[in-house]
Structure formats: C-alpha cells, structure tokens
Amino acid sequence: MSCPVNFKSEKIVMKISRFFYLVLFLFFLGGTPGIASPGPTEDLKPTLQGMIDILCDPAFSGNEKRDVRREKIMDVVSRGFDFREMSKLVLGRTWRKIDSQQREYFEQLFTRLLENAYIGKLEKYTGQEIIYKDERIKGKKAAVSTVVQSVGTPPLPVTYVMTKTSSGWQVYDINIEGVSLLRNYREQFKSILRKEKFDGLIKVLEDKNTYFDGEATK
Amino acid sequence: MLNTFSTLMKTYNRHTLLLLLVLTGLTCFGCAKQDTSTHEMQNTDGSEINTATVVDERVDEMDMLLSDDFFENDSVSDDKYYDPLEPVNRIFFEFNDKLYYWVLNPVSNAYSAVVPFDIRYSIGNFVNNLSAPIRLVNNVLQWKIKDAGIVLSRFLINSTLGVYGFGDPAWVEFNLEPKPEDFGQTLGVWGVGEGIYLCLPILGPSNLRDAGGFAVDAYTHPMVYFVDDILLSAGYYSGSRVNLLSLNPDVYEELKKYSLDPYISMRQVYLDYRRAKIHDTRSRVRSDNELSSELQK
C-alpha cells in the first residue's frame, strides 16, 4: 500500500519546514541569555572551570601571587556561589532574630571562613578531572552530581546543591560522599549558639579568620 | 600455613569443593560487570519493571538532597542524632586528640621518614587485602551478590598476581574497584537503628550499632584464626593504623583546622557518611544484582 508521490504536498511540507527553521533561527537570535537561563550544570561548569583555569595559570602561581590569585578565584566563586543563601541557611532560626547589619557582618565573616578553608585546599589542585554525571531540578533547587577523577585514588563523588537566583543557578551546598558542608557548619554553629549566643559565634568566627590570616603571613 | 591448607583440603574435601564452586560462581558474577559496556535495550520478562524501580530509586537518592530543608525546621534536624553521652564523648575526643598529637602523629612521621611511600602503600594494600573476608561476608549479608563477587575476584587476583596482596593489580589491570562493607553497615541495611553516638577511645567516632558491628567483624578477620597472641594482634592493629595514617596525614588535622568545634564536625561527618553509605546500599542493592538492568542503564 504505497502512497503515490504527491509533488504538491511535498512542496508545502518543504515550505513549512523552511518557515519552521526561520522561526527557530529567529528565536535563538533574539533570545537574550538573561531570560532563558541555562540549566544548573551549564551554570556550574564556568565556575569550576574558572577556578581551575586560575589555578593552572602560571601568571598566578607561586606564593607571592597568593593574594592576587585568591582575589581572582573569589571573583569567580562569588558569581557561582550564593553566600547570602548559605549564611541564611547555616544560621537557621537565628537568622530571623538578627538585624540586617548583623546579617551583613555574619555573611562577610562566613564567606571569609569558607574562602580561607577551601581555597587553601583548592590550591593543592593537581590536575584532577571533573566529570558531570547527573542533574536534578526540583522547583527552585537543583542537584548536580559530579565525580572528581584523579590518578591513583578512587573517584570522589561530589554533589553541588544549587538554588535559582536572579543571576542564574548558584551553589549553596557541597555534598561529598553524603557529607554536607553546610550541615556540618550548621551543627557546629548551633552548638556554639546554644552556649555562647550570637555574639559568641561572631567572636569564634573572627578568631578563626585571624588565625588563618596569621598563617598566611607566616 | 600451606600445610594447614592442604590438610584442610583433604579433610573437608567435599565441603571445600562445594565452597569453591560457590566462590567461582561469585567470581564470575563479579567479573560479568566488566562486560556490560554495551548499552542495549533488552525487553526480557520483568526487566522492564526492574528498570522502572531503578530509575525511581535514583531519583530518590538525589531528591533526598533537594528535599532536605535542614534549615527551615530546627526541631526535625535536632532529632536526627542522639548524643546523650556528649560530655563523656568529648573527654574521649580530647583523649584521642592527645593520642594523635603526642603518639600517633610523631610515630607516623618518623615512620614516613624512614619507609618510602611505595612500601607504605604496598603495606596498606596488604592490610586491606587481608581483611577481604570481612567485606565478602558483609556484601553477601547485604545481598550484594555482584559486589561480593568483585571482592572475591579482587582477593584472588591480588593474593596471586599481586604477590600476597602487596600490589593491587585487580584495580590497576582489571579495573575492579574496592567494595568496602562492614557489619555495622549490614545491620543498618537490615534496619537496625544507630543507637547513641559514641566517641570511643583509640577507635574514634562510632555509634552503638557500628561499635557492635566492629566487634563482629573482628571475628571475620583471618587474624583471629591464625594468631593466638593478643599482643601480636594489637601490634598488627596499631601497625596498620600508623601505616594508614602515614598515607593520609592531613585528614584529621584539616578537619580540626577548618572547624570551629571539631567534636561536632567529626560527629556530623561520621553520621552523614555512614547514613549515605547505608542509604546508597538500600537503593542500589536490587539493581546491582540484576545484570539485565545493568545492561539497560
């Protein structure tokens, strides 16, 4: 039961498809990147790659370039990470009790702590490869699972938990083999808050950052 | 040791044969995983349902992170662990901390200075290989048949080609990854609760369930059956501990450095890590034993 070839209809089909391509073309041409944000994985990639690029750049290597390098890295990180959300979530109930000035100061201190703790760790980077495995979106939250592959050690699964903000998807938690970075600090903060209240926590954070600064100048 | 083995073989000939048969079967199962690179759809009976459950469970696993509003609701996360012994645990934590800085760390440093990395790494392999029976038993008890096969394959390959387990050709050459399991985890998979959190002297972070599991695992270790001397066993344990530390020198110090309350941080790491492993097992175990679903992934 073969259909007879209908030249007329084929022409129409061609016209329609041409029109369709044109629409598609115009759609992509006119689409501003700000409106149609790409997925969480696409937003995560430049952040991680940006950090790696800076770490691998010989122009920023060595101990004497430390400050410039950190500044550059923090520049990339602050675009990909939502430190406000992190500060809010890590404090939990206490966040609602403090005023905006305290919030601002806490965010500043906590960001510094993370910077000190994790950029120091990052600086030991030795060419591991990051493989993006899976992505899951649920409302305004997303999880992107990656595997850090390096020679000689078993692969390390790292999941980035992200939230959708006005400037795309931003990371608010890092989960390594089930261990959540944010929850770890949250539990510590909770214990300190219970005993020493908010002022005590601020003091502990200040001390820790001073300790890291002292170590850096050593 | 070889003599004992041959007499064993003679006395329990029938049992040994049966055991060997079962073990060979397991090995084959373990190796079969490596040949599943072809991702073809096979719609054999039942496999369709199976894939569906696999996919669902994978959704669950990542969704757990997303639905984790550990922030909004304080009371919920407060109930997630039981640490009534915190004051005592903190004392033992301090004790372990001192033990680390006064004894373990200096010994490990001196040892690292004398023994080159390659040899320490090989010793680590040997120690690891010797505890394969623990992993085998627990993989079977968790019904992870394929992983049990991998554990067994690794043990056989590394004990022979790897020269008594000092090398790890199973991983390097055959790409068989280690499958660590212990009885605490097995109990967790079976649905036994964690009980209270414990920070044990010398042994470090644990909970009631895992501490029990640790004691049971000691009896699956070949050491118990070949060495009577308790001092020698203790020596072996502390030696392997120092060796392990010399291979991962920074772990504890980094945890201390980056945390504001190291006791809490360590507790949280321990609980999170163990829960993730047990949860992972629960959701993965069925899919892993089905080779057909593996093919469809």
Dist. CA B36–CA B297, nearest whole Å = 10
B210-232: per-residue pLDDT in tens?
999 999 998 888 887 887 788 88
A170-213: per-residue pLDDT in tens?
999 998 888 889 989 999 999 999 999 999 999 999 999 998 88
A85-114 residues touching B, CB cutoff 8 A: 88-90, 92-93
A145: contact with B, CB 8 A cutoff: yes
Asked whether the predicted pLDDT for residue B11 surpasses 70, the reply is no
pLDDT band at B122 (very low <50, low <70, confident <90, very high): very high
B41: contact with A, CB 8 A cutoff: no
All residues of chain A having their beta carbon less than 8 Å from the beta carbon of residue B71 are: 88-90, 92, 186
Q: Write down how long chain B is.
A: 297
- B265–A184: do the CB atoms touch at under 8 Å? yes
Architecture of domain A40-216: Roll (3.10)
Find the CB nearest B269 among A92, A141, A184: A184
> Residue range B123-146: average pLDDT?
91
- DSSP lists the bridge partners of residue A164 as A169
Asked whether the predicted pLDDT for residue B167 surpasses 50, the reply is yes
B267: contact with A, CB 8 A cutoff: yes
B270-296: per-residue pLDDT in tens?
998 898 888 876 655 544 444 434 334
Tokens for B120, please give them. 């320490």
For residue B255, the one-letter residue type is L
Range from A104-118, B7-21, B237-251 carrying the lowest mean pLDDT: B7-21
> For chain A, which residues score pLDDT lower than 70?
1-37, 152, 216-218
For chain A, the domains span 40-216
Place of tokens 């010793």: B123
In this prediction the pTM is: 0.74
Walk across the sheet containing A179-180 and list its strands: A129-138, A141-149, A156-165, A168-176, A179-180
Helix (H), strand (E) counts: chain B: 17, 2
Torsion of CA B265, B269, B272, B275, to 10 degrees: -130
A158: contact with B, CB 8 A cutoff: no
Dist. CA A135–CA A164, nearest whole Å = 14
